Amino acid sequence: MSIRTSSKALAAFFATAILSLGCGTVASRAAEDAVVIPAPTIDEAGKSSTETAIFAGGCFWGVQGVFQHVKGVKSAVSGYAGGEASTAQYETVSTGTTGHAESVQVTFNPREVSYGKLLQIFFSVAHNPTQLNFQGPDEGTQYRSALFISEPEQRKVAEAYIAKLDKAHVFKQPIVTKVTDYTGFYPAEQYHQDFLTLNPSYPYIVYNDLPKIENLKQIFPADYRKDPVLVLKAKG
């Protein structure tokens, strides 16, 4: 057996093993529906060719998969934010005691896609921002809705947009997304990267996440890219 084949077999083993460890739990709630929402009134101006933003909205498989299909996104990496480096491992984060949230670090070209547009996609199709400490079938603070902010302009855009959506009662319940200061991002284990693309027939992906990609395509056709930008391909 070649090293390449062994790596694939190991990845498949881990992918199966995590069925009972958080992401991939048996669904006890229906998959989330997309909500058509207005664009933000306040947005950033594209000042450079690269910017980074971190989004937490439930299991990172689906959030990563959505942003990987957005034009202007250079990379979308699954990982952990909100806790310490020493506890940034999947098994530990899954206990819900570390302060971490499963997150996705998105690097994008603001001249091609604005931070406001990414927020619109995040709130509309990537997750349900009204669910407190759970998302679909996944429960715990590690699945909370949060934005980890390192740029003052991102905070301004995010807070104004949340206020606008709440005032307009776009959602049936208030938005619970926390706008939080960035304290560090720690990439998740390799077997979590590109999980949606590599495991399209995995039951959790079929039920919870593939509909998000279809919703992105239908609601944001001008922003949809057919071929996702992948982490493992970028690493060679």
> What number of other Cβ atoms are within 10 A of residue 39's Cβ?
12
Query: Has 23 been annotated as catalytic?
Result: no
Question: Which has the closest alpha carbon to 73: 126, 37, 115?
Answer: 115
What's the rounded Cα separation, in Å, for the pair 193 and 95? 20
What's the rounded Cα separation, in Å, for the pair 53 and 75? 11
Q: CA-based Rg of the chain, rounded to a whole angstrom?
A: 17
Query: Could you give the count of Cα atoms lying within 13 Å of 191 in the half-sphere of its Cβ?
Result: 16
Sign of the CA dihedral running 230, 122, 38, 217:
positive
Q: Are 81 and 183 in contact (CB under 8 A)?
A: yes
Candidates 37, 59, 77, 101; catalytic one: 59
What's the rounded Cα separation, in Å, for the pair 42 and 153? 10
Catalytic residues: 59
